[in-house]
Amino acid sequence: MELLEIARDVYVTDGATRVGVVVDDDREAVIIDAGPWDRYGKELKGLLDKRGFSLRAIVITHAHADHFGAAAYLAASTGARVYAHPLERPVLECPILEPIYLFGGANPPRELRTKFYLAPGVRVDGELGGSLDVCVTSRWGLRTVDLPGHTPGQTGIAAGRVLFCADSFIGSSVLAKHPVPLNMDVEGALRTYSVLLGQDMDVFVPSHGDILKDAAGAVGENRDRVLDVAGFIQEFIHKPRSIEEIIAAVSDRFGVDVKDLGTYYLMNLTVTAYVSYLMGQKRAVAIYRSNRQYFRRASQAETEP
């Protein structure tokens, strides 16, 4: 692992999941996300120690295991305070909630209790977006940017003219490997793309993908993909289809390989979010036949207020 300096006193780790590091005049550091697991946290702490940075705050952009897995280790070993949005806090403090919600609220099986879905819990000391905002932001000159969609309370962090974008969009090369990005709220994601396009910044740091001077291309690709998937589902439900059928059709069309329980339930969440989006726009309705649930395109009569 290496720390790349992308602006004065602003660093980012290399690798598949990026962590940001912002340092103040006293060499006290705040990190943006913590990385996926303890081993990562140990390596990151080693890099901070080597440069003489002391970790004071850990800002978690959203409660996915690959972003906060090392937070408990780092908080315990440095005494750093942990900050997160109120909507992300419950999962950080009770991380079993992530596999529980993925499995539809039921007791999750072993396959959803691996380190990819279940990280060690960490106590949140302060919430982003409220009055405690000041505790994090005043010393380091940070600003929070609401970026909901991927998760309900996902928060970006602006450090000067660098924007840490979390998983609000993924880089082009990552999009090629993960062709249907996870969003739990499609409308929120679409609004967030507009927010990102309106940010006047010099550097954009998605957690997964290349660091960019201009995010318009990558954000546009993510937005186009979301609109393509929504349009495809809208077309596919010209006759009643089950969620199972929609997952299979979307996976076939966009090149997702559903081969294990984890991938299936991530796709289930993703596809259900699209169906919810279409229902919210009165473009789809749920119907029930022979104890089965289907979704189909809304008829003219059903779209009228």
Number of Cβ within a 10 Å radius of residue 266: 19
Q: Which is nearer to Zn ion, 53 or 206 (CB)?
A: 206
Nearest-approach distance from CB 152 to Zn ion, in angstroms: 12
In the shown chain, the binding pattern of residues 6 to 35 toward Zn ion, with x for contact by CB under 5 A and - for none, equals ------------------------------
Q: Decide: helix, strand or coil at residue 186.
A: helix
Nearest-approach distance from CB 166 to Zn ion, in angstroms: 7
Q: Which is nearer to Zn ion, 169 or 277 (CB)?
A: 169
Task: Give residues with Cβ within 8 angstroms of 63, minimum separation 6.
Answer: 84, 88, 89, 90, 91, 92, 95, 98, 151
DSSP for 103-159, please give it.
Answer: TTTSPPPGGGSSTTT-PPP----EETTSTTHHHHHHHHTEEEEE--SSSTT-EEEEE
**Total site size for Zn ion, rule CB under 5 A:** 2
Nearest-approach distance from CB 66 to Zn ion, in angstroms: 7
Candidates 61-69, 110-118, 215-223, 270-278: pick the segment binding Zn ion (CB under 5 A). Answer: 61-69
Nearest-approach distance from CB 18 to Zn ion, in angstroms: 12
Q: Which is nearer to Zn ion, 127 or 167 (CB)?
A: 167
Assess 88 for contact with Zn ion (CB under 5 A): no
Candidates 56-64, 197-205, 211-219, 273-281: pick the segment binding Zn ion (CB under 5 A). Answer: 56-64
Closest residue to bound Zn ion by CB? 64
Q: Which is nearer to Zn ion, 48 or 157 (CB)?
A: 157
Q: Which is nearer to Zn ion, 98 or 167 (CB)?
A: 167
Q: Which is nearer to Zn ion, 48 or 218 (CB)?
A: 218
The CA-atom distances, in angstroms, between 270 and each of 19, 35, 86, 185, 246 are 25, 23, 22, 9, 11
Q: Which is nearer to Zn ion, 45 or 208 (CB)?
A: 208
Nearest-approach distance from CB 7 to Zn ion, in angstroms: 24
Tokens 């913590």 -> residue: 34
Nearest-approach distance from CB 295 to Zn ion, in angstroms: 26
Token pair, residue 56, equals: 């004071």
Q: Which is nearer to Zn ion, 69 or 140 (CB)?
A: 69
Token pair, residue 201, equals: 């910044």
Measured between its terminal Cα atoms, the distance across the chain in Å is 56
The CA-atom distances, in angstroms, between 45 and each of 30, 64, 164, 279 are 12, 21, 20, 46
Nearest-approach distance from CB 75 to Zn ion, in angstroms: 20
Assess 98 for contact with Zn ion (CB under 5 A): no
Assess 64 for contact with Zn ion (CB under 5 A): yes
Q: Which of residues 154-213 bind Zn ion (CB under 5 A)?
A: 167
CA dist 70 and 147 (Å) reads 22
CA dist 41 and 64 (Å) reads 15
Token pair, residue 87, equals: 């909507």
CA dist 158 and 164 (Å) reads 6
Nearest-approach distance from CB 290 to Zn ion, in angstroms: 37
What residues line the site for Zn ion (CB under 5 A)?
Answer: 64, 167
